[in-house]
Chain A
């Protein structure tokens, strides 16, 4: 077995800028308000993934899952620690890929495929397959700004999954798709998994994670608090403590967002 991803004591801090104009900054300084604040999204996370492993990344919203995936993908760089990956990485991060709204689906397809490392010949060879999978019909040549969110996600997923990557990252992107398409995606991901691709799958759906993954990582406010088997991970996430009662479950502010 070869190492596919090595994450070594990685931290990422965001600086939140409160004031943008000179006037606002001056006012804030006079009043003694902070000009910016830092927020640690990923805190000293370390783990190693072998080639072909399928990882379920779980945790509440805002626990740093997307940031971690962005770091692995190379969109962001860690402030501390190192990340090493082997081979081609493809995937979808934080609902949707970088599509250009004014360009047609076809042009976006070529551009996205190129960014993911596909050559022109490779894209042309897989073009029909990608279009078929995305099931865009006559919308292929309309600007993607006219697409529904489902179509957007379908095209993005279809391109990424056809890249023949060594590492595939799927971050809650499928949440917007409809049932049959989700099913199709899961089948395709299992196919890719079977070919020995390393998979990172972000989902809150326990049963789906259980079927898809060999191992679960749980992030809690930036800390990697669990790293182990799927069943244990899911049990860990449910916080099986005695005080848990049905009332609490139905309590307000139940993350309506995905």
Chain B
């Protein structure tokens, strides 16, 4: 009883001391800052301001959808990313073409000329370039998106922006880089004899849909994770090194399909990669339609290409939904983790 009483007294004394201390600090601060700011008085009568809005939560909660409502802001952020990428660079935007061009030359030489893996693949260059372009788009979105929140922490910490805007901006920047490559690919396909067909266009649309949803979902998830642990940007950088080998572009798909009986698990894993499916669909659009006799290369596509495509698109849409939820959940803690 007595001990409790004593403890209580001690606590009270501590509290008094703490308050006294705070009081002294406050007085000193007030004294010191008394004339730190100039005194300006209000002149004239205060007007009433009519605000035509409802009371709402000040924090943005619209997610990706809100990003698309703020297109002007998105455009400025994309412009800023581009300006930053090519600051103090002589070749500037050209760099984003040099890299895939060199990769194309090297792969073409090694796999086309030395190993001659392209036997049986007519228009091998288009087959290969098709893969390079879309894998490039995915890798760039993924890796830039992963770094996006962390590298924009200045803004994230100080201003109210829907934070999804940064990963989305990475998607747009990556498209800005790959857009002209796609154009080159299209022109090359037309030159070798591309012809329009309904299946080709449908495959192209499905391929793009898979590519965009998958890349966007991965960018969102990893952008949030990277705020917590910067290891994720290294993980992404490592995985993107192998992506080129995990899609059928340097070798024909028929070789992969040969595994179906011997290694069914590996085959299924390979095919579960949305990127592999997207590249196959793109090849259907660009490459198969440029071959003289499209039916002659039908064995370069899985028999269940379409079913698989729609299932994967569904899975990617679910993944995107999950990514948005995941991002929104982690976002609350961004300010204290940055």
Interface residues of A (CB under 8 A from B): 2-4, 6, 14-17, 51-52, 60, 70-77, 82-89, 93-94, 96-103, 107, 110-112, 114-116, 119-120, 166, 174-175, 179, 182-183, 186-187, 189-190, 193-197, 203-208, 210-212, 220, 234, 237-239, 241, 243-244, 248-251, 253-255
Contact = CB atoms under 8 A, between A and B. Distances in A.
A183 B80 contact: no
Given A99-B154, A120-B72, A175-B36, A73 B58 contact: yes
B102 interface: no
Shortest Cβ-Cβ A-B pairs, 7 listed = A196-B49, A239-B23, A74-B58, A208-B37, A204-B33, A98-B155, A98-B158
Given A72-B58, A86-B51, A86-B55, A248 B24 contact: yes
A103 B80 contact: yes
A134 to B, nearest CB: 18
Contact of A190 (B31, B43, B45, B77): B43
B44 interface: yes
A249 B41 contact: no
Interface of B: 19-20, 22-49, 51, 53-60, 70, 72-73, 76-77, 79-80, 83-84, 87, 154-161, 332-333, 335-337
B335 A70 contact: yes
25 contacts: A2-B51, A14-B336, A15-B333, A60-B25, A76-B335, A84-B55, A84-B56, A86-B53, A93-B158, A98-B156, A98-B159, A100-B84, A102-B84, A107-B79, A107-B83, A115-B73, A174-B37, A183-B40, A206-B30, A208-B39, A238-B23, A238-B26, A244-B24, A254-B32, A255-B32
A177 to B, nearest CB: 10
Given A75-B158, A115-B160, A205-B37, A4 B27 contact: no
Residue among B37, B42, B60, B158 with most chain A CB within 10 A = B37
Contact of A205 (B34, B55, B157): B34
B49 A51 contact: yes
Given A15-B333, A205-B36, A52 B49 contact: yes
A99 B28 CA distance: 33
B58 A114 contact: no
A196 B51 CA distance: 10
A175 B29 CA distance: 14
B46 A6 contact: no
Nearest to B160: A74
Given A204-B29, A244-B27, 10 more contacts: A71-B58, A98-B155, A98-B157, A166-B51, A190-B43, A205-B34, A205-B35, A238-B23, A244-B23, A254-B25
Nearest to B48: A196
Contacts of A114: 70, 72-73, 76
Nearest to B36: A205
Given A190-B40, A211-B40, A251-B24, A77 B59 contact: yes
Contacts, number: 209
B319 to A, nearest CB: 25
B49 A203 contact: no
Residue among B25, B38, B77 with most chain A CB within 10 A = B38
Contacts of B24: 244, 248-249, 251
Contacts of B154: 98-101
Nearest to A212: B40
A195 B155 contact: no
A166 B49 contact: yes
A254 B51 contact: no
Contacts of A15: 333, 336
B158 A96 contact: yes
Contacts of A207: 34-35, 37, 39
A227 B24 CA distance: 21
A169 B254 CA distance: 64
A1 to B, nearest CB: 8
A255 B29 contact: yes
Contacts of A115: 73, 155, 159-161
A139 B20 CA distance: 48
A184 B38 CA distance: 9
Residue among A73, A103, A115, A241 with most chain B CB within 10 A = A115
Contacts of B51: 2, 4, 51, 86-87, 166
Contact of A211 (B39, B45, B80): B39
Nearest to B31: A249
Contacts of B57: 74, 82-85
Contacts of B72: 114, 119-120
Given A3-B55, A120-B72, A254-B25, A75 B32 contact: no
Nearest to B51: A87
Contacts of B23: 238-239, 241, 244
Given A196-B46, A208-B39, A211-B39, A86 B80 contact: no
A32 to B, nearest CB: 23
A249 to B, nearest CB: 5
B337 A17 contact: yes
A125 B29 CA distance: 41
Contacts of B43: 190, 194
A238 B155 contact: no
B259 to A, nearest CB: 37
A214 B135 CA distance: 60
Contacts of A112: 159
B47 A204 contact: no
